[in-house]
Structure 1
């Protein structure tokens, strides 16, 4: 592997499609969205989402810890524990050399809505003293460090829907600089609060297809009309190659390149031709010291918004030309987990490399003329490839791209 690569030695997952790699992959391979009516969103203009089900924070974390954390932190902490276990990592061996860098897109609106309601009703003494420490974004990184005993660099990255991917890129730089031997990196978010759902519905960013939620999210389809809210977390254990080899760790894949950019174009809309996304991808390829023609697969941001998918398709076509890599868009199946999306999709990219398959994009009927990508549909696409790119874009025009390679 390249001297610029770092090893992926563990995956920890909490997703609407499952909480372990095999279950997640099986759901993705089936090619059908898990979107369904969401009782927490009843009465709102859009009343469905992709929920994480079967998660019992009290059973996994203990009742006391679960009680003082919000849902996004529950998922982040559980994913971190699962990642450490998957990597068979002994943090206590050198805790000061283990960092935690997580991506979180926003505050926990679930807690803030509850507490602001009490304040607005003239009941300040009923506002919980835990309101701040349970909801500010940096606390989930702090809670993970507290839980696993990691004493190295510790903070969150916030770049909207690029947060999880950005966190992985920052973690890689910490490893290459020598500041850490190991970093737990990824993202977590619960995008299902009533306020979040209402805000996105007011912006007309959500698909309104309430009669058939499982058909609502249609990335790159000519009739796409918005995304489906999701939630979840993914934490990857990243290690310096020499450290991973020294402890005989199993290496799932290598993170070889990272690129980031700003559109500097519009507060919420992407550059119409995807110039910023293209810049981030090209930077990541340069960082990985590889050419566009070396890439066999792209895990696309693919939110199913008209402007977003058009911009991303343009960026991919300009970057890769006539030799289009095989593309997939997992949000068609698991929804959009906002700040966690880039980390979850990075984990999916790692699994694709390991399995030498590309999971399908759901609900694609016809692509926009002139912007057709080689999208995997209906069933997993077997593929022999060594390099894959995962892309993420967010409000504020913030873009991130990651290059992964086989181990």
Structure 2
């Protein structure tokens, strides 16, 4: 009886298991296909590409190769709108800019579409334009847009922060000009595939930029050029923008040049102080004070001009050390005058006629210094400021020829 009951239980168990196995066997291919399709949809949505939307609008999704609709060299126009220039140093500067690239995809559409924000590059092909010689490049993934027009024209605009190389004219400091370069090229496509060119002025400031003066600079000139460069067996189109900045030197006139010249003039006061025993302490005090003050100016400029990385001489150094030399020369003149001074000169009851002539040489030295020192310093200033004026006028013509928005791109 028990054996019959166990057989009946096993039969009932198989009656429940077998239908389930049949259902699984029949639906297994459908489950596999559903899983693959679900996984594929997840990949597309992760990359930000709604598959049905792309198919309906016929947008391009190939991001590593040229668009299939482009059958010849793709011509891309580039223009840059400068937003700000900050952190200008001897070797580089930080530039915030908007780079706009425009090309024709040869695909007409029923309606235009403008996309903005993150991952918009996933909705279509975008150029691989990169910055040559840039130390750092930071792309703002929020401040960008991609515009598809009905005619097939595509506009891609990005906000970018670039640390671009700069080269100042160290010798002319603080009347120097700093040149910063922005160099662009396609990274993977040679000129047979992509041809870059500047649009309109190439580089411009869309609004008046006054904050640059806070950094001690003003815009002198902006120019653009186009040329080719060979990398291996391929030739690439290179776009270069040159931004020339002129340092505002008025602050150095007030803080360095005027104090240095004033100390030189003060050092000459000793030439008119009486050469007797009573005047010696006064002459020594004035000489030491002027020397120490000039040393303070020299040390201050070494610490505060942010030019310590450069070992080249500068015009500012020439003026400071020339002024320092005049002050030292005044001290040497005082030593010579005191050496040839007779101890009895100026004493009561002693006539200067009773003093030997060689003992009265100090008076002649002082008289020569009263004329020679001012004339020498005046001649030095004429030569120095004449050279500075010639330099500033030479580069002022560049600023006069620059007309901002009317500047045209030049091809080399």
Q: Which one has the bigger strand percentage?
A: 2
| TM-score (structure 1 length as normaliser) | 0.19
> Which of the pair has the greater relative contact order for Cα pairs under 8 Å at 6+ separation?
1
| TM-score (structure 2 length as normaliser) | 0.19
